[in-house]
């Protein structure tokens, strides 16, 4: 596959056909966030093609959610399978009337890659929903322990909850970190702390926010400072848990804060969170919506931590092509049926796709590949950073597969210019460029990415 | 198709194979709510088959969400189409990179049946999500008007919202009705008021609840009483809107309260709600998650009302096989992009299915059929109610297609016994039996349903 293909249209991204299509779409749909309109039939592997015929190396991957490439043959096969047709046509309320295949779909799909110690699953449809279901499981568990095993609900509880009043609707908090992103539902949004654009004007719960460690780079030059910073954050977390106005029943954290700027912390920090949450009986939820499914060079981001005991809940979505959460503790199954429930409980069609994704990742050893390619990519970026230290700052993600990011001067301009050189790349945080290639990204794609990046930085340094 | 097929297993529902499959499933999944495990490959049209080979007339339809029958040939065709394969394999972040087909998929699918005056759409993945997106749209609109057109966000607003504090995270309320069901997210659950099992132990927003009119049946015998009751409810709504501790920005109501007991109100009541919400600048959200898509004998439940002006937002899911909301007022599109946004914004694969559902409904005139069949069904049930007035009380849904319900003595026992006679039927409210046949339910299916119902009621009356 050519690195950058020739195109008759280079002057304008989005091109005229993309613009016209977006305008037409806007008559029925809010299309203001459209970068370009894609021709998925012509897209393949790591390359996305737009309606103007422009072909981009895609290291953004539908906001980090395409796992194994456009028009992947194994996924096409799954999409054509008889069980897929049935799941699409006979969409079940899986809680009441699961199909005879449902167990095997889960067992031979998502459960093949369940995080260690977390071998039970609840399916959902988005990362946001998965996180809220995790919060609810934590809340029910907290009240179950408080109530005492086997103690029945009181009339006061069941009647007051209908009024949205205590004691049935208690004040219970989920702790999250500054700059985190956990979704946009009213519960998940209350834990999202990254940007005003997500949160403004929306009522939220009075839940605590801890500051995430602000590490200094390069890490090897700031070992003591960073350790002290992580200690400070852990102390703050413990203080919030023990002093908040009402019980903190869950703590949610991303292995790498992604939307909030690709902020990392050390395994020791996360072990500290595991210890604190265990000590205080707080459900430890690891949000692997963006980090899960291999991009960090391990299947799960939290596997880098070598925790002494697993998280209580791990949520997933994006590259899984479906969503949900894994858990181990059977008490996270509520005391009664129908408490954690909804009509569809996920979508078997999407769970079938996730099974095909898992098979492809394992068969082709794509996590191992990502770890290997990531090392090369990081080393190349390190060289470029040495050449343009103003434009590639705080390079991070070493040893984290292709989950690499850096700060720059004007990330919006950089990614816009990259598109003109046919590389589709994304931003996060304030002025951060995040790489989110698919798991099929190879060494051979690195020169294309690096050449475009260097060209853009050169131009920026020239004209600014 | 035979009315009740012969089966070697009649003694036990769920049968031994269903039980074994549910038990196996429970090792990885909470299977306590499983009625039986289905064999969808053998299910067809109005009939669902379980793994034990039992064949049930299905008037529950996956909690009111199967629109046009199991293994419907037109849906199978859509499931096999090239655009479906692409949507499954190349799942786009439609907000950023919509496919070149996205406009046509919407235009030739869901937008063919948009409610009058509401010709713009936002796609979602569940009714719960659709309702929360509607709340957020209403909240942003309210603050936009308050702020004044074109007035920029203040630093105080953008920084305080990150802290979940005012003024950025304001106290804004959504009014809902007692016994309503609008979903299980933290926002939608705050408006759900039907049962403690959904709400207990989950924090909620301090939002107002009005009592829904409690109509007396038969309607023609209680005209004045019912009118007074509706007036009382409207007065209560207005009082809550004008006196709540903080602004009520939206009111959400189901055309027929479904999960809460199939509670109806008159067109005049809903016109009253439209008038009140207009008068007080409150966004009027009609939750058509269960009533939408034809089962009431009109495509939308609210079409029965002949409102002087349309609702502001109509949400849908279930029989649509996808979810989302329709709206008309362009100001419900937020002032800036990315405020109403998420990674996937629905699922094009499911939106393609919804297009096939719409085509099938329109081509086969299934709404008209449902209106016609519903009249016959209602008349038959009226006769049965006259014979067993203790067991079929408050029959309701006249002129509402097959959206029919009645109160009984012990709804749980009734539906359990109906399964032994191979009719799959559901409950709602406290002791209500709700009929939710598919839109392909015909006059020819009525005798099967009625015979089973009479037999169960006869037995109940004999042994109790």
Q: Which residues of A touch B172 (CB under 8 A)?
A: 201, 203
Q: Which of B36, B103, B111 sits opposite A24 (nearest CB)?
A: B103
Structure tokens at B356: 């096939």
User: What is the model's pLDDT at position B9?
Assistant: 42
**Chain B contacts of A85, Cβ < 8 Å?**
76, 79-80
- The helix/strand/coil state of B417 is helix
The pLDDT-based confidence of A12 (bands split at 50, 70, 90) is confident
The model's confidence at residue A7, banded by pLDDT at 50, 70 and 90, is very low
Residues of B in contact with A186 (CB under 8 A): 132, 135, 185-188, 190, 205
- Chain A residues near residue B125 by CB distance under 8 angstroms: 125-126, 129, 347
Comparing C-alpha atoms, which of B173, B143, B341 is closest to residue A195?
A: B341
Q: Which of B55, B298, B318, B419 is catalytic?
A: B318
> CA nearest B282: which of B182, B137, B148?
B137
Give yes or no for a contact between A168 and A159, defined as CB atoms under 8 angstroms apart.
Answer: yes
Considering Cα of B3, then B6, then B9, then B11, what sign does the dihedral take? positive
Question: Residue B11: pLDDT above 90?
Answer: no
Q: Which of A52, A58, A262, A287 is catalytic?
A: A287
Active site residue A448: no
Rounded to 5°, angle at Cα B393 from B391 and B399:
130
Q: Could you report the per-residue pLDDT of B140-186, keeping only the tens digit for each?
A: 999 999 999 889 999 999 999 999 999 999 999 999 999 999 999 99
Whole-number pLDDT of residue A402: 98
Query: Is residue A427 pLDDT above 50, yes or no?
Result: yes
Kindly report the average pLDDT of chain A as a whole number: 96
Q: What angle do CA B157, A287, A211 make, to 5 degrees?
A: 45
Tell me the mean pLDDT in the region B96-122: 97
Burial of B138 per CB tally in 10 Å (0-12, 13-18, 19+)? buried
Mean pLDDT within B282-307: 98
Clarify whether A209 is annotated catalytic.
Answer: no
| Average pLDDT score over residue span B379-399 | 97
Residue pair B323/B126 in contact (Cβ under 8 Å)? The answer is yes
Strand order in the sheet with B248-253: B120-124, B323-327, B313-316, B283-287, B248-253, B173-177, B209-210
Question: What confidence tens digit (pLDDT) does each residue in B35-49 have?
Answer: 999 999 999 999 999
pLDDT greater than 50 at residue A331: yes
| Interchain contact, B106 vs A184, CB within 8 Å | no
User: What is the reported pLDDT for B463?
Assistant: 84
Q: What is the pLDDT of residues A65-108, one digit of tens each?
A: 999 999 999 999 999 999 999 999 999 999 999 999 999 999 99
User: Which of A300, A411, A308, A397 lies closest to A358 in space, CA to CA?
Assistant: A300
Q: φ, ψ for residue A350 (rounded to 5)? A: -75, -30
Contact A233, A213 (CB under 8 A): yes
Give the model confidence (pLDDT) of A361-413 as tens digits. Answer: 999 999 999 999 999 999 999 999 999 999 999 999 999 999 999 999 999 99
Catalytic one among B39, B52, B262, B287?
B287
Q: How far is Cα A220 from Cα A16, in angstroms, rounded to an integer?
A: 48
pLDDT above 70: percentage of residues in chain B: 98
Q: β-strands A426-428, A432-434: how paired?
A: antiparallel
pLDDT tens for B344-372 read: 999 999 999 999 999 999 999 999 999 99
Q: Are strands A405-407 and A432-434 parallel, antiparallel or unpaired?
A: antiparallel
Position B118 scores a pLDDT of 98
Evaluate if residue A5 carries a pLDDT over 50. Answer: no
With H, G, I as helix, E, B as strand and everything else as coil, classify residue B188: helix
The answer to whether the CB of A25 falls within 8 A of the CB of B103 is yes
Check CB contact of B157 with chain A, cutoff 8 Å: yes
Q: Write out the DSSP string of A165-196.
A: -TTTS---EEEEETT----SSHHHHHH--S-H
The answer to whether B59 and B436 are in contact (CB under 8 A) is yes
pLDDT digit string (tens) for A160-176?
999 999 999 999 999 99
Q: Among residues 418-447 of chain B, which lie with CB inside 8 Å of chain A?
A: none
- Whether residue B7 is predicted with pLDDT greater than 50 in this model: the reply is no
Query: What's the rounded mean pLDDT across residues B195-203?
Result: 97
Cα B135 from Cα B132, distance rounded (Å): 5
Q: Quickly tell me which residue has 């869901």 as its tokens.
A: B110
Q: What is the pLDDT of residues B110-140, one digit of tens each?
A: 999 999 999 999 999 999 999 999 999 999 9
Q: Does B58 touch chain A (CB under 8 A)?
A: no
């Amino acid at each position: 596959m050519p690195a950058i293909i020739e195109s008759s249209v280079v002057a304008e991204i989005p091109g005229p056909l993309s613009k016209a299509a977006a305008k037409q779409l806007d008559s029925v749909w809010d299309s203001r966030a459209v970068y370009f309109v894609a021709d998925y039939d012509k897209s393949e592997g790591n390359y996305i093609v737009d309606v103007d015929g422009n072909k981009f190396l895609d290291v953004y991957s539908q906001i980090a959610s395409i796992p194994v490439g456009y028009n992947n043959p194994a996924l096409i096969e799954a999409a054509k399978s008889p069980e897929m047709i049935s799941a699409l046509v006979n969409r079940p309320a899986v809680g009441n009337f699961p199909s005879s295949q449902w167990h095997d779909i889960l067992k031979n799909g998502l459960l093949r890659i369940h995080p260690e110690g977390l071998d039970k699953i609840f399916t959902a449809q988005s990362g946001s929903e998965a996180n809220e279901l995790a919060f609810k499981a934590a809340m029910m568990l907290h009240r179950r322990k408080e109530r005492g095993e086997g103690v029945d609900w009181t009339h006061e509880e069941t009647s007051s909850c209908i009024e949205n009043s205590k004691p049935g609707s208690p004040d219970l908090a989920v702790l999250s970190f500054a700059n985190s992103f956990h979704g946009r539902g009213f519960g998940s949004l209350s834990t999202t702390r990254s940007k005003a654009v997500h949160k403004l004007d929306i009522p939220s719960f009075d839940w605590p926010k801890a500051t995430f460690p602000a590490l200094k780079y390069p890490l090897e030059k700031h070992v003591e400072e960073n350790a002290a910073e992580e200690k400070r954050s852990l102390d703050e977390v413990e203080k919030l848990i023990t002093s908040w106005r009402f019980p903190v029943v869950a703590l949610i954290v991303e292995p790498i804060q992604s939307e909030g700027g690709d902020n990392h912390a050390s395994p020791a920090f996360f072990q500290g969170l595991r210890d604190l949450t265990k000590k205080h009986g707080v459900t430890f939820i690891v949000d692997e919506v963006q980090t899960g499914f291999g991009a960090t060079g391990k299947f799960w981001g939290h596997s880098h931590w070598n925790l002494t005991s697993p998280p209580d809940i791990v949520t997933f979505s994006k590259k899984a092509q479906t969503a949900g959460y894994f858990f181990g503790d059977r008490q996270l199954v509520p005391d009664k049926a129908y408490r954690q429930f909804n009509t569809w409980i996920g979508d078997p069609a999407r769970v079938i796709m996730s099974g095909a994704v898992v098979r492809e990742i394992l068969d082709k050893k794509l996590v191992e590949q990502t770890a290997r390619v990531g090392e090369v990519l990081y080393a190349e970026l390190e060289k470029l950073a040495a050449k343009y230290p103003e434009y590639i700052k705080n390079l991070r993600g070493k040893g984290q597969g292709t989950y690499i990011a850096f700060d720059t001067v004007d990330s919006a301009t950089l990614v816009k210019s990259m598109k003109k050189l046919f590389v589709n790349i994304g931003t996060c945080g304030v002025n951060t460029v995040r790489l989110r290639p698919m798991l099929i990204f190879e060494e051979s794609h690195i020169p294309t990415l690096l050449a475009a990046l260097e060209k853009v930085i050169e131009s920026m340094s020239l004209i600014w």
